[in-house]
Amino acid sequence: MNFMQALQQRWHDADSLVCVGLDPEPARFPGKFRDDPDAVFAFCRDIADATAEYACAFKPQIAHFAALGAEDALARLIAHIHTCHPGVPVILDAKRGDIGSTARHYAAEAFDRYRADAVTANPYLGRDSLQPFLDRADKGVVILCRTSNPGAGDLQDLVVSGGDHAARPLYQHVAETIAREWNGNRNCALVVGATWPEQLKQVREIVGDMPLLVPGVGAQGGDVAAVVRNARSADGTGLIVSSSRAVSYASDGDDYADAAAAAAGALREEINRHR
């Protein structure tokens, strides 16, 4: 089963559009991990195990592991998810993009070293920079379009003209270019922040049923109802709504895993109320 098929199956089987982000921050781990040399793996594994039934995907963020020298923990975490939660795809959030000769290595890193099912990528260098990812038809390529951060509009909203189109913001040009020209293997998705419901609506109109990875609910304050209303696809799916800190750090006590499960379950319910 390729990434897109696995995602669709999981949306259906878990009745969920929730993606659980795995962003380890040891300073926020519960006390029981203080002297654990394998704390990064153990904490993330516990969060994944507790939330899997509510998850349509997991999204580990690579910088959170690499900054700690914990790449081995990331590899073991993804292997653990594949073994213990085999229907739940893993999106490695790495935001890669470079000239082709280097991009080939980034694709091998995500898909062969870490065995991720999909990876986030940055389109700024152009199509050839993402070709090694796009060529992996069994894998997902989740491309930045309109990010959730406050400065997203600095470049992404700049008005551009191109082809037979009237002038429009760059993020809309990115959305259409990817939907029409880069998605030959039907393995592309886009990142659009939950903090921008109007832009989500615009992107959905441009890309049809293409999946959208939507970070920015929870800790960043995105409005879940507006996200779902504006960006669900025609059949009420089409979204991978990602929450990291609000799920993983729902409690810093011994009940951290139960609290994470409750937070993921509550997000699933809130999303489903508006589908």
Ligand X SMILES: O=c1ccn([C@@H]2O[C@H](COP(=O)(O)O)[C@@H](O)[C@H]2O)c(=O)[nH]1
Show which residues are catalytic. 95
- Among positions 205-234, residues that touch ligand X (CB under 6 A) are 215-216, 218-220
Residue 165 DSSP class: P
Strands 168-169, 159-160: pairing kind: antiparallel
13 or 146, CB closer to ligand X? 146
Q: What would the two tokens of residue 103 be? A: 């991009």
148 part of the interface to ligand X, by CB under 6 A: yes
Inter-residue contact 264 to 40 (CB < 8 Å): no
Measured distance CA(218)–CA(18) in Å, rounded: 12
The gap from C-alpha 75 to its chain's centroid, in whole angstroms, comes to 17
Segment interacting with ligand X (CB under 6 A) among 46-54, 67-75, 198-206, 240-248: 240-248
The three state secondary structure string of 23-41 is CCCHHHCCHHHCCCCCHHH
Whole-number minimum distance, CB 153 to ligand X, in Å? 12
61 part of the interface to ligand X, by CB under 6 A: yes
Question: Which one of residues 193, 197, 211, 238 is an interface residue with ligand X (CB under 6 A)?
Answer: 193
Measured distance CA(83)–CA(199) in Å, rounded: 37
95 or 115, CB closer to ligand X? 95
- The residue count for binding ligand X (CB under 6 A) is 17
23 part of the interface to ligand X, by CB under 6 A: yes
Inter-residue contact 212 to 227 (CB < 8 Å): no
Among candidates 264, 133, 99, 200, which has minimal Cα distance to 190?
Answer: 200
Whole-number minimum distance, CB 28 to ligand X, in Å? 11
- Among positions 86-125, residues that touch ligand X (CB under 6 A) are 93
21 part of the interface to ligand X, by CB under 6 A: yes
Whole-number minimum distance, CB 121 to ligand X, in Å? 11
129 part of the interface to ligand X, by CB under 6 A: no
| Footprint of ligand X (CB under 6 A) | 21, 23, 61, 93, 147-148, 191, 193, 215-216, 218-220, 242-245
